[in-house]
Homo-oligomer: A and B are copies of this chain.
Amino acid sequence: MRTLGEIAETVGVPLRGGDVATPVTGVATLQSAKPGQISFLINPRYRQYLSNTQASAVILSQRDADSCCVPMLVTDNPHVVYAHVAALFAPAPPTTRGIHPTACVSPTAQIADATWIGPHSVVEAGAVLEEGVIVGPHCVVGEFAVLGSNTRLVASVTVCHGVRLGQRVLVHPGAVIGSDGFGLANDHGQWVKIPQLGGVQVGDDVEIGANTTVDRGTLEDTIIEQGVKLDNQIQIAHNVRIGAHSALAGCVGIAGSARIGRHCVLGGGVGVAGHLDIADHVQITGMSLVTDSLTEAGVYSSSLPVQPHRRWNKISARLRQLDGLARRLFALENKCFSDDPTKRR
């Protein structure tokens, strides 16, 4: 049991109003919070629920403080403060240490203290698990792979040979790191496999989502820099580099040798072609396609939102005529502006 006062102290935000001794049992939304729960106001669309919340305290920013009738944690960044408060109530990772009797661990693997290798997991020859590593059930850690300290494979994760994960890396179920890149040479119509001899380097504090795949490099390594966050169902091809602190939403695909800058944000389903560079601080909206390097920070898009199908069909048909329409427009201009030579094209 924690109290409001303890929580405020832990996250370093003064409690405004309320009794520091109020017991707190968890976090909840403004609408559903009961007494004993802490809530938060981040997205303005939920401001309407502030006045009636039963929460014992609300994390919010100064601009919303006047509308709040319950105790508050007022901060410049309620999202981050909420994250820290919620972490106090998150289920702890497994605390068991050791090797489950059904796990297969090579005698040449180096297993540090305070690690856990779960049921049916396989750790191959020469692999290194640093202190505090947690390998959940049904994982495979390939030969000479390295898992940095406090890294966690949640369950059913495959880390292929020689892959290096940093510290505090969190990998969700079904992810595959270090599978072969898609390297092919065409010999008179038949494909010859290019051996994929590089590895994968994953920096500290990276999170990799469920069923996401990261291919090993062809010769040099695929690199995911520190603090990168990858959502589910993402495909990272060989020799890609993702700059530090970038976040990629679900279903993104990055083709081979593309380089994504630092602090980039890619929306869901974005595609990035191979062999190009994206600058730092670039944002791409969902389902857009990047086919050329982007040298300047900013927001980029190429996706089209839905229309009623019949209307869209007309638009799509006109789009196929667009070059012809443009030429007809130019012809008209030539005719109509023929008396005005400055307007001719």
Q: How far in angstroms is the closest Cβ of chain B from A42?
A: 8
Q: Are A329 and B336 neighbours in the complex by a CB distance under 8 Å?
A: no
Contact A174 B172 (CB under 8 A): no
Chain B residues within 8 Å of A2, by CB: none
* Contact between chains at A235 and B253 (CB < 8 Å): no
Q: Inside 8 A of A304's CB, which chain B residues have their CB? A: 289, 302-304, 316, 319
Number of interface residues of A (CB under 8 A): 131
- Among the stretches A13-21, A26-34, A63-71, A109-117, the one at the interface with B is A26-34
Interface set, chain A 284-343, CB cutoff 8 A to B: 284-292, 294, 298-316, 318-323, 325-326, 328-329, 332-333, 335-337
Asked if A326 and B323 sit within 8 Å, CB to CB, the answer is no
Is A245 close to B, CB under 8 A? Answer: yes
Q: A residues near B, CB below 8 A?
A: 26-29, 32, 43, 45, 77, 79-80, 82-84, 86-87, 89-91, 100, 102, 104, 118-120, 122, 124, 136-138, 140, 142, 154-156, 158, 160-161, 170, 172-174, 176, 179-180, 182-187, 189-195, 197, 207, 209-211, 213, 215, 219-220, 227, 229, 231-233, 235, 237, 245, 247, 249-251, 253, 255, 263, 268-269, 271, 273, 275, 283-292, 294, 298-316, 318-323, 325-326, 328-329, 332-333, 335-337
